[in-house]
Amino acid sequence: MDLAYIPSPSTGVINLGPVPLRGYAFCIIIGVFVAVWYGNRRWIARGGTAGTVADIAVWAVPFGLVGGRLYHVITDYQLYFSEGRNWVDAFKIWEGGLGIWGAIALGAVGAWIGCRRRGIPLPAYADAIAPGIAFAQAIGRWGNWFNQELYGRPTDLPWALEISEGVNREGGLYHPTFLYESLWCVGVALLVIWADRRFTLGHGRAFALYVAAYCAGRGWIEYMRVDDAHHILGLRLNVWTAIIVFLLAVTYIVLSARKRPGREAVVEPAAAKAAAEKAAGGTEEAAESGAAESGAAKTDLTKPDADKTGDQPGDKTGAEKPGDQPEADEAADTADAGAKAPQKS
């Protein structure tokens, strides 16, 4: 008897009247929201403006969804185009089936278009959104839990995943590879955030670190899965893809660090220009205000004091005013009277 395991939901769809809410799609939407929100915070911290990440995501997300679906359909074409299959199912993205390799590749094309329209370097944008993409993958993997897909080999571990009997699957307890990858993606995001702060990564190296770290985990997790897949030289196709992409990412980090060390000083030219103009305008206003205050002070220093007029030594204006010497006039009158009076012997 199994005392502990991770149960799977009985259904991946919740119907709100005529509107079906699918767990897989819900996880993808939440993941995109988190990636854009956190990427916007990092972009502003790098000197960009709010809203730029969302504007470019309008291009990147649709391209990424199309790319992810194309990769899945091409690499698992037998699910849609073999005998007894309906090719229309290839368009039913809500039933699961998004290849991260195609999503990142074509999503980068959409981001490139959005960046060109805004005059922004793509590597700087990629560095800003890299941890957010990893967080989005961590959330999106729970969509596989809702669909009871992409699990690993049978196991009796306490955290085994219960899979119910269904089409193309056998009920039992299996390794929850969706959970392994979800936790790994959280670790990748934290690694990129730490390394970016510690080493000041720039020119796309933070994004390359995310790619390399994700591939390292995806390789061993993919090796545990038991769902149908194409094999080359005994290894699953996605294992080979992880190895090749990992080597390319590491090579880019090494060459980029030698050729373009450091980080971009300006990530959004329009924002930098607006900030410079605002700073220049503030400096001019301060200079004009200072000049006005200096002129006012000079006027106060040169203005004569009307209250003190005539009190200064040698002030002739006050001395020439009539009636200013009453005592002198009285002395003159007394002298005249004494001269006219008879003198006693």
Mean pLDDT is lowest, of 121-130, 213-222, 241-250, 331-340, for 331-340
CA distance 49 to 283: 22
Max mean pLDDT among 11-20, 141-150, 193-202, 273-282 falls in: 193-202
What is the pLDDT of the chain when averaged over all its residues? 83
Q: What is the mean pLDDT of residues 23-36?
A: 94
- Looking at the chain, the whole-number percentage of residues with pLDDT higher than 70 is 80
DSSP one-letter code for 225: B
pLDDT at 294: 59
Cα–Cα distance for residue pair 238/153, rounded to 1 Å: 17
Give the model's pLDDT for residue 299.
Answer: 53
Chain position carrying tokens 């605002």 = 278
**pLDDT at 81 (0 to 100):** 85
Q: What is the mean pLDDT of residues 70-90?
A: 86
Res 337 pLDDT > 50: no
Q: How confident is the model at residue 313 (pLDDT cuts 50, 70, 90)?
A: very low
- Mean pLDDT of all residues in 164-176: 88
According to the model, what pLDDT value does residue 239 have?
93
Report CA torsion sign: 96, 101, 105, 108. positive
Q: Give the tokens for residue 326.
A: 């009453």
Asked whether 15 and 21 are in contact (CB, 8 A), the reply is yes
Confidence band, pLDDT 50/70/90 cuts, at residue 240: very high
* Cα-Cα-Cα-Cα dihedral sign, residues 145, 149, 151, 157: positive
Q: Are 229 and 237 in contact (CB under 8 A)?
A: yes
**Residue 12's pLDDT band (boundaries 50, 70, 90)?**
confident
**Does residue 108 surpass a pLDDT of 90?**
yes
pLDDT of 75 higher than 50: yes
Which pLDDT does position 154 carry in this prediction? Answer: 94
Under the banding of pLDDT at 50, 70 and 90, the label for residue 304 is low
